[in-house]
Amino acid sequence: MGLGAYFRLARAGFVLAREGALSIADNDALPPVMKAGVRFGRLFERGEVRRSGNVERLTRALHRLGPTYVKLGQTLATRPDIVGPAAAADLAVLQDSMEPFDPALVPGLLHEALGARAAELTEFSPPIAAASIAQVHHARLADGTKVAVKILRPGIRQRFAADIESQYAGARLAETFVPKLRRLRPVDVVATLDRSARIELDLRLEAASISEFTDNIKDDTGFVIPRVLWDYTSDTVLTTTWVEGIPIRDNAALDAAGVDRKALAKNLLQAFLRHTVRDGFFHADLHPGNLFADPRTGDVIAVDFGIMGRITRRERRFLAEILYGFITRNYRLIAERHFEIGYVPRSQSIDEFALALRAIGEPQHGRRVSEISMSKVLGQLFATTELFEMQTRPELILLQKSMVLVEGVARALDPELDIWTISEPIVGDWVRRSAGPLGRLEDLRDHFDTAVATLGRLPAVVSKAEAALDDYEHDKHAPGRRFNRFMILTGFWLGLVVLLTALWRLLGF
């Protein structure tokens, strides 16, 4: 990693500090180590920002810094409860109203991606939405079908690579010079985001995500997505059927069309939980620019499937039982699950961790969502993770980010949202199912698959063990060597018998 990465990182920190990025969070809610960093960074703020608190130039700064910083701004735009209403409103422009690239480039990009088929896309419009990664146009096929055409921004892959390199540099610096942050595993977190970005920058993979998602929700109601047109799709161009709706952030238009915003918020939250807990495959970029409402049916319409999250059945159970624990105020259950999945070291006390969770959860019960300060809750959570030496699970980073996004969108639709009541039908049903006979059968199937996979690897393990023994046995006629070989082989086969016996008992035979 070259010095350029560190230079870009320093430049990004300076620009963000100067434009007021460090002023939008509630500093009182932060732990001491972060408070000191924020105070130092704010020394570089422009005088106008310090006097007025206005951060209107922050949006332009994020755009100038690159696409990964734009993604951060999109997330913050959904959380006026954390960054304040003025900053959130200003950052909202990052969701789909960014400057489009030169329209003169479009015909060449289409021809390069689709060849002769590019000519079949007629009535090509100017961009109707422009985001950090790509922009969208509408067009028609020869038969009159209206379609949406998404085109990757020229040079975006190189910009993403430069951004990610500087973030790796920052993560390594954090691990080296701030030991307390090592438990958060910043390098692994950046690696997770890196993999996600690489997938997002190949539109064929986004098309495949839409296809899988379509299969998952084919029997669901209330959540609609477009269909992929594979003949007009490549790594830089994605064509789908056209979907029509009202932007979900336009409360005035939703009200004028008679859309029930409370029902819409409930539908969005429950759909997200259903996709996550039931399927383990969810839309991980549900900012308001990607969400619409059908005024005729009240359905949620989602677009832009470049960032998708996937979690295993074990992680789905963890999520469901954590949410169910908060719903039922069973803080002991929440604590036990954190220990089981490895979030909290075994050296810590389950009872004390449950007590800390109660201190966070109890004040939120019975309150309207508009009365809850998420910045204070997040600050308390961070302090708790430090106290109990909690480790970050990088595989859950996208899920955690997505939950922040979805809750922010839902609370904008319905400030009186009762998250726990809305979540219970989805989460409670899944927990009861996973704890019942069907769930136990699925657990048994997982154990069986593991056992079969282990048995399938045994011949290779035996071969490697024999080869290793032969390498060390150049003097196999020596009595000592013969005895050693006998003992090693005996130990190996004895261990194998023990392993097979354990698997046999595990499967209940």
369 contacts 265 by C-beta, under 8 angstroms:
no
CA-closest candidate to residue 368, choices 417, 438, 434 = 417
225 DSSP assignment: -
300 contacts 268 by C-beta, under 8 angstroms:
yes
Residue for token digits 């007629």?
122
Q: Where are the alpha helices (DSSP H) in 179-249?
A: 186-200, 203-216
92 contacts 207 by C-beta, under 8 angstroms:
no
Question: What are the tokens at 124?
Answer: 């090509």
Instruction: Assign 245 to helix, strand or coil.
Output: coil
- HEC-encoded secondary structure of 44-55: HCCHHHHHHCCC
What is the distance, to the nearest Å, from the Cα of residue 211 to the centroid of all Cα atoms in its chain? 19
Question: What are the tokens at 81?
Answer: 């409860």
What is the distance, to the nearest Å, from the Cα of residue 170 to the centroid of all Cα atoms in its chain? 20
Q: Is the dihedral of CA 232, 236, 241, 244 positive or negative?
A: negative
Question: What are the tokens at 261?
Answer: 């915003």
- HEC-encoded secondary structure of 15-67: HHHHCCHHHCCCHHHCCHHHHHHHHHHHHHCCHHHHHHCCCCCHHHHHHHHCH
144 contacts 136 by C-beta, under 8 angstroms:
no
Residue for token digits 């910043």?
186
* DSSP-assigned letters across all residues of 93-141: GGTTBSPPPPGGGHHHHHHHHHGGGGGG-BSPPSPSEE-SSEEEEEEE-
Catalytic residue among 285, 294, 304, 414: 285
393 DSSP assignment: -
Strand order in the sheet with 300-302: 223-224, 300-302, 291-293, 246-247
Q: Is 285 a catalytic residue?
A: yes
Whole-Å CA distances, 114 to 100, 201, 241, 353: 21, 17, 17, 56
Active site residues: 285
